[in-house]
Amino acid sequence: MSKLNKSRVQELIQAYGANPKRWPQQERQAGQAWLEENPIDTGILLTDAHSLEQALNTIHSPSGDISLLQARILKLATKTAQDSASYENAGYETAPRVIAAWKTVAAVLVLSTGMGFGIGQVAAADTSYTDAETLFSVSMQSEYSETDLYGEGL
């Protein structure tokens, strides 16, 4: 066990608080030994930390029954599984293509409304059509962007 100096003990208290059980495991024993060997400094260092711990301890997350929440999540999860199973059984493997076709139509409609052109004119304009489709695709993919933002690494 390597010894700690006052500065490090002070850092530990400032970060992890007065209770050594929350200190890093590899420094806990040495830290406690320092506190016992230096009672005067310990008193000074721990006073503020103790009052903050007491203050934090007054807040409690409701620790009530979570069985209802648990049941709700299980029901939703089972439903999700059933929905995806029936979706696959119904032979919707071509769905992405259907969605892509729908997106194409929607992109044309959005662009034609926004630009004030007729549907036929917009469908004929290749460059504008591409822009609208890209824009629409991005909006459809917002969920994936959010997942990336979360950094879940999925």
Partner 1 sequence: MNGTHSASGSRDPHSPDRLDPDADILLDLAHGKPAALGVLMARHLKAVKSTAHYMLGDEMMAEDIAQEVFIKAWKNAPKWQAGPAKFSTWLHRVTRNLCYDRLRKIKEIYPKTVPDMVSDSPEASQLMQMRQNHSAQKSKIEYALVKLPKRQRMAIILCHYQDMSQVEAAAIMEVGVRAYESLLARARKNLKMQLQSHKSELLEN
Interface residues with partner 1 (CB under 8 A) are 11, 14-17, 21-22, 24-25, 48-49, 51-56, 58-59, 61-63, 66, 69-70, 72-74, 76-78, 80-81, 146, 149-154
Question: Nearest approach, Cβ of 88 to partner 1 (angstroms)?
Answer: 13
Q: Which is nearer to partner 1, 68 or 126 (CB)?
A: 68
Q: Which is nearer to partner 1, 89 or 127 (CB)?
A: 89
CB contact at 8 A, 38 and 6: yes
Q: Which is nearer to partner 1, 41 or 53 (CB)?
A: 53
CA nearest neighbour of 19 among 63, 51, 61: 51
Question: Nearest approach, Cβ of 2 to partner 1 (angstroms)?
Answer: 17
Residue 62, by phi and psi: left (phi above 0), alpha (psi -120 to 50) or beta? beta
In angstroms, the Cα distances linking 103 to 60, 87, 106, 112, 143 are 49, 20, 5, 14, 16
